[in-house]
Chain A
Amino acid sequence: MFDWIQHFADWLIYSVFGIAADSHLGTALNFFVYDTLKILILLFLIVFLMGIVNAYLPIEKLKNFLNRKKLYGLEYFFASVFGAITPFCSCSSVPLFIGFVQGGIPLGVTFAFLITSPLVNEVAIAMFIGMFGLQATLIYAASGILLGTIGGWLLGKFNLEPLLSDWVKKILENKMQQSEYEEAKLTFRQRLPEITRGAWEIVKGVVLYVIIGIAIGAAMHGYVPENFFGQYLGGGQWWTVPLAVLVGIPMYANAAGVIPVIQVFVAKGVPLGTALAFMMATVGLSIPEATLLKKVMSLKLIAIYFGIVAFFIIFSGFLFNLIL
């Protein structure tokens, strides 16, 4: 499917620029052009598809679904899936959190949504397909959704309400009545320009990170020796996964920038499970998100939330290293 991009990259670097195909610079530049084009095309396609999904399943509708239906324990799973298909913006996490609990959705279910939302998002999925292929992407998405489901369920088992901020407790006491969501009746054709522009906006917003990430990745590809990381991190030492997670949490990077670099780590010998754990910690748990959440919950609750998610990320890292 992407052969033509490879031909284009070969032509551009080797013929137009005349850089030798067997030089470090040639390989690195070729890799950079190929990956950037491939990723940007994938990114637009996936974001566009998600835009269509979101046009028909807006967040209000999903919230009402969680609210109204008897789901017999499956609500954690549904919330997690909804978190995955909703576009994530860290600045929306607090309004979402309040909106959910205000609507009477249990705290655990809200957490299930909140965990998966940054973990599995359209940008990460597109980058993953481009960098690791479809199979790894499916594993990543499935484990992210599972992690949100279990994490949310577990958090729901604790008595966490007292750990919310006072004004949030007050909201919980007098739950506002459900405002009915009115769906705009538009045909697909009428929605298309809006969806296209939305997709374009998202791609435009991350394009710089993609280019920087791929540039770093390309440079590393050309210059870091084969199996360089494998020597130190590839031997299956047990501490590599927790370490990857601990390093990942304070490192706030968006998926667009971090995945191309991770891909090189994997290519040079880091086990995929360790890399996945690092990636999940980087995008799923972030300090800026924690500071925003401080407005609605106590530090203790944030610590419990992050602790549980970090635990499950480490667990899945081990699991992947074992089975992949």
Chain B
Amino acid sequence: MKEIKVLGPGCPKCKTTYSNVLEALKQTNIEANVEKVEDIEEMMKYNILMTPVLMIDEEIKIKGRIAQVNEIIELLKK
């Protein structure tokens, strides 16, 4: 099962990314663990500069902007 993380301190962009992830999972019927990382200390372990960040299986996929539903679907299919 895929591990998805959305990193961001709770700004509107981060929330949109998170709901886009849920939407993408719903559309594809893929099961995954989705985690919202809002704690800055935790976030900084990943050495990021811009939020929101979308991580799939501990790998940074999209950073600094909202991830679109169809983008996430593409990433999930890989």
Q: Which residues of B contact A91 (CB under 8 A)?
A: 8-11, 13-14, 51-52
A95 and B11 contacting across the interface, CB-CB below 8 Å: no
**Chain B binding surface SS class:** loop
Q: Which residues of B contact A15 (CB under 8 A)?
A: none
With known contacts A91-B8, A91-B9, A201-B66, A295–B47 Cβ distance under 8 A? no
With known contacts A59-B64, A89-B11, A89-B13, A95–B41 Cβ distance under 8 A? no
- The docked-state distance in angstroms from the alpha carbon of A96 to that of B9 is 12
Distance of B8 from chain A, by nearest CB (Å) = 6
The proximity string for B residues 37-70 relative to A, scoring 1 for CB distances below 8 Å and 0 otherwise, is 0001101100111111000000000001110100
- Chain B, interface size category, equals 20 to 34
B66 and A95 contacting across the interface, CB-CB below 8 Å: no
Q: Which residues of A contact B51 (CB under 8 A)?
A: 89, 91-92, 95
Distance of A100 from chain B, by nearest CB (Å) = 8
Distance of B22 from chain A, by nearest CB (Å) = 19
B13 and A95 contacting across the interface, CB-CB below 8 Å: no
With known contacts A89-B13, A99-B48, A99-B49, A94–B64 Cβ distance under 8 A? no
Q: Which residues of B contact A92 (CB under 8 A)?
A: 49-51, 64
B65 and A95 contacting across the interface, CB-CB below 8 Å: no
A59 and B40 contacting across the interface, CB-CB below 8 Å: no
B10 and A95 contacting across the interface, CB-CB below 8 Å: no
The residue among A87, A90, A92 with the most chain B CB atoms within 10 A of its own CB is: A92
Instruction: Verify if A171 is at the interface (C-beta below 8 Å from B).
Output: yes
Which of chain A's residues 75-96 have a Cβ closer than 8 Å to chain B?
Answer: 87, 89-92, 94-96
- The docked-state distance in angstroms from the alpha carbon of A94 to that of B8 is 10
Q: Which residues of A contact B10 (CB under 8 A)?
A: 91
Which of chain B's residues 14-43 have a Cβ closer than 8 Å to chain A?
Answer: 14, 40-41, 43
Distance of B51 from chain A, by nearest CB (Å) = 5
Q: Which residues of B contact A89 (CB under 8 A)?
A: 11, 13, 50-51
Q: Which residues of B contact A59 (CB under 8 A)?
A: 49-50, 64
Q: Which residues of A contact B49 (CB under 8 A)?
A: 59-60, 63, 92, 95-96, 99-100
With known contacts A171-B44, A198-B65, A295-B40, A94–B9 Cβ distance under 8 A? yes
Instruction: Verify if A214 is at the interface (C-beta below 8 Å from B).
Output: no
B40 and A99 contacting across the interface, CB-CB below 8 Å: no
A177 and chain B: residue at smallest CB distance: B47
- The docked-state distance in angstroms from the alpha carbon of A132 to that of B71 is 39
Additional pairs, 11, CB under 8 Å, beyond known A59-B50, A91-B10, A94-B9: A89-B51, A91-B11, A91-B52, A95-B40, A95-B43, A96-B49, A98-B44, A99-B49, A100-B49, A171-B44, A201-B65
Report 29 cross-chain contacts, Cβ distance below 8 Å, ordered by A residue.
Answer: A87-B64, A89-B13, A89-B50, A89-B51, A91-B8, A91-B11, A91-B13, A91-B52, A92-B51, A92-B64, A94-B9, A95-B40, A95-B44, A95-B48, A95-B51, A96-B49, A96-B50, A98-B40, A99-B47, A102-B44, A102-B47, A171-B44, A176-B47, A179-B47, A197-B68, A198-B65, A201-B65, A292-B9, A295-B40
Q: Which 7 A-B pairs have the closest CB atoms?
A: A91-B11, A99-B49, A92-B50, A59-B49, A98-B44, A91-B9, A295-B40
